[in-house]
Amino acid sequence: MEAILSHLQKTHGLISEGQNVGLWLAIGTAIGVALGAGLSNPAIGIPIGVAVGGGIGAGLDAKAKREGKVI
């Protein structure tokens, strides 16, 4: 089963539902930590990073769903 999913993702560009949200939440959190460190206030940077990352990921997931690229 894992081989089939891997083939679909690599060859046909399909993604799992919620894959982009998870990826972009992690990226947004990392950017938020850096932003918070730069501002000397992580309490501001992390939520901003999570919100931006979640928004980007949700948008990309919605686009993939519209295009029929969700497994």
Q: pLDDT digit string (tens) for 20-61?
A: 999 999 999 999 999 999 999 989 999 999 999 999 999 999
Domains of the chain by residue range = 18-66
The predicted model scores a pTM of 0.84
Using left for φ > 0, alpha for ψ between -120 and 50, and beta otherwise, residue 41 falls in beta
The DSSP call for residue 70 is B
64: pLDDT strictly greater than 90 = yes
* pLDDT at res. 42: 86
* pLDDT at res. 71: 87
